[in-house]
Amino acid sequence: MARPTSATIHTDALRHNLGVIRARASGSRVMAVVKADGYGHGLERVARALEGADAFGVAALSDAERLRAAGLSQPIVLLSGFDEADDLPQLRRLNVETVVHHAAQLAMLEQAGDGDPIRCWLKIDTGMHRLGFAPDDVRDAHGRLSALAGVADDIVLMSHFASSDEFDKPQTREQLRVFAEATNGLSGARSLANSAAVFGWPGSHGDWVRPGGALYGVSAVDGKPGPEFGLQPAMTLATRLLAVNRIRKGERIGYGATWQCPEDMPVGVAAIGYGDGYPRHAPAGTPVMVNGLRANIIGRVSMDLMTIDLREQPEAKAGDPVMLWGAGLPVETVGAAAGTIGYELICSITRRVRVVED
């Protein structure tokens, strides 16, 4: 019998979420970010479902290669930019646009000579302090790009927010100010908004928005899961109970004997663990759904199995369904209980989990 653990990908939810984003940022074009294998949902599957997007954003040239091989013709933007001069012919062959964020990339473009023009997205560090040109260097970088015959005329000006999920904090407002000052008078479309900014910072929408997690139904806003913004989860992670055991009061459960039964009680054993990508560090009390009702993990999550408190479901039996996240149990809720974020969880599903497309 096949292991009963599965991840069901809801392509209708992907399309629904794209529609929600378009409604929120109606004056902007949408770049669907599909990096990390479509946030764990399958790159080609996601891209086909999101064919209505205006462009795709990837983190690696290999992802662009896969999208072109799948027959997708939309613009593709290499969000981390190219790494070496040998990448430039590949960008041209695949008709891929690139982010330019460092002086070393400018030098490579200048030394490469002419060729089919590559569209560039000039990244400005407005406060994230990860990638991007310092504000004082933006005009020089823009001028150097504009002077190159091998660079397309329509350079896009972009930045990335550090705290757009905090709607009441000043950092995003300050980043917007820095961006406006650094780009004042420069030609080109503007792009700043990530998923959280689409919902919380409408003044940042500009010409392009770049949603990632929101497309998959995952909110980036602390304490507000995707459904609160009208999003639908694009993944359901599920399995089944392998056994239900009656454990006596005082007995301990699982590795390390970390959880003690407070009374005689039924304990379910579900076929999922960190070998499937479920977080080992999820503590006792992390919610799951058994037969559509909330229950809690007890004991440590092991490689292949987890144990579940079934005192509220004394009739549960082997074979009953267990949902780890999906409709009714947002992955953000699970992530918060496990001390992480929903993004990490959906990107961590391993290859032994059977993927089903709905």
Q: pLDDT tens digit string along 329-350?
A: 999 999 999 999 999 999 999 9
Separation of alpha carbons 143 and 122, rounded Å: 11
Q: Which of 185, 217, 249 is the last residue of a domain?
A: 217
Q: pLDDT tens digit string along 271-324?
A: 999 999 999 999 999 999 999 999 999 999 999 999 999 999 999 999 999 999
Separation of alpha carbons 280 and 303, rounded Å: 8
Q: Which of 188, 217, 246 is the last residue of a domain?
A: 217
Categorize the per-residue pLDDT at 123 as very low, low, confident or very high, splitting at 50, 70 and 90: very high
Separation of alpha carbons 54 and 114, rounded Å: 28
Nearest residue to 215 (alpha-carbon basis) of 200, 240, 198, 202? 198
Q: What is the pLDDT of residue 236?
A: 98
Residue 223 domain-assigned (yes or no): no
The range of the structural domain enclosing residue 315 comes to 235-357
Q: Which of 186, 217, 248 is the last residue of a domain?
A: 217
- 287 and 143 in a common domain: no
Categorize the per-residue pLDDT at 158 as very low, low, confident or very high, splitting at 50, 70 and 90: very high
Question: Which percentage of the chain shows pLDDT scores above 70?
Answer: 100
Separation of alpha carbons 159 and 192, rounded Å: 5
Residue 226 domain-assigned (yes or no): no
**Distance of alpha carbon 144 from the chain centroid:** 33
| Element housing 171 (H / E) | helix 171-183
- 251 and 191 in a common domain: no
- 199 and 125 in a common domain: yes
- 156 and 64 in a common domain: yes
Q: pLDDT tens digit string along 32-73?
A: 999 999 999 999 999 999 999 999 999 999 999 999 999 999
Q: pLDDT tens digit string along 187-204?
A: 999 999 999 999 999 999
Q: Is the pLDDT of residue 1 over 90?
A: no
- 289 and 250 in a common domain: yes
Q: What is the pLDDT of residue 182?
A: 98
Separation of alpha carbons 164 and 168, rounded Å: 9
Choose between 2 and 322: higher pLDDT.
Answer: 322
- 322 and 182 in a common domain: no
Average pLDDT of the residues of the chain: 97
User: The domain that contains 250 carries what CATH number?
Assistant: 2.40.37.10
Choosing from 35, 123, 278, 343, the catalytic residue is 35
Q: pLDDT tens digit string along 199-242?
A: 999 999 999 999 999 999 999 888 899 999 999 999 999 999 99
- 244 and 121 in a common domain: no
Residue 72 domain-assigned (yes or no): yes
- 65 and 140 in a common domain: yes
- 176 and 303 in a common domain: no
DSSP 43-109: HHHHHHHTTTSSEEEESSHHHHHHHHHTT--S-EEETT---STTHHHHHHHHTEEEEE-SHHHHHHH
- 259 and 212 in a common domain: no
Question: Which percentage of the chain shows pLDDT scores above 90?
Answer: 97
Number of domains in the chain: 2
SS3 for 177-211, per residue? HHHHHHHCCCCCCEEEECHHHHHHCHHHCCCEECC
- 250 and 208 in a common domain: no
Choosing from 169, 249, 255, 317, the catalytic residue is 255
Residue 3 domain-assigned (yes or no): no
- 147 and 266 in a common domain: no
Q: Is 123 a catalytic residue?
A: no
Count Cα atoms within 13 angstroms, Cβ side, for 282.
33
